[in-house]
Amino acid sequence: MTPPELRAAFVAEIAQVAPDIDPATVADTDHIQDDLGLDSMDVLNLVARLHERLGVAIPEAEYREIATPARAVAYLSRCLDTT
């Protein structure tokens, strides 16, 4: 997946977990908890949805790597890099 596709997938999953968030308003630097208001259960649900959608298992110790869309794209790109 390209970075824009990964960003779109990440933001789409945020919107599924927190339907009150408009994906069009999510900035690359928005923190999923501090700026978007996801709580710890929402983050767990987001991680589960990303695993289901992308096949990426995100260990709890690495949750900070998906704290913003920009960080998530970089992290998910590394995880999906098969070269």
Q: What is the pLDDT of residues 7-42, one digit of tens each?
A: 999 999 999 999 999 999 999 999 999 999 999 999
First to last CA, the chain: 13
Q: What is the pLDDT of residues 35-73, one digit of tens each?
A: 999 999 999 999 999 999 999 999 999 999 999 999 999
Residue type, 28: D
Distance of CA 81 to the CA centre of its chain: 17
Identify which has the larger pLDDT, 82 or 39.
Answer: 39
Q: Which two tokens stand for residue 30?
A: 């928005």
Residue 70's Cβ-side half-sphere holds a number of Cα atoms within 13 Å equal to 5
Write down the pLDDT at residue 10. Answer: 97
What is the Cα–Cα distance from 29 to 60, expressed in whole angstroms? 21
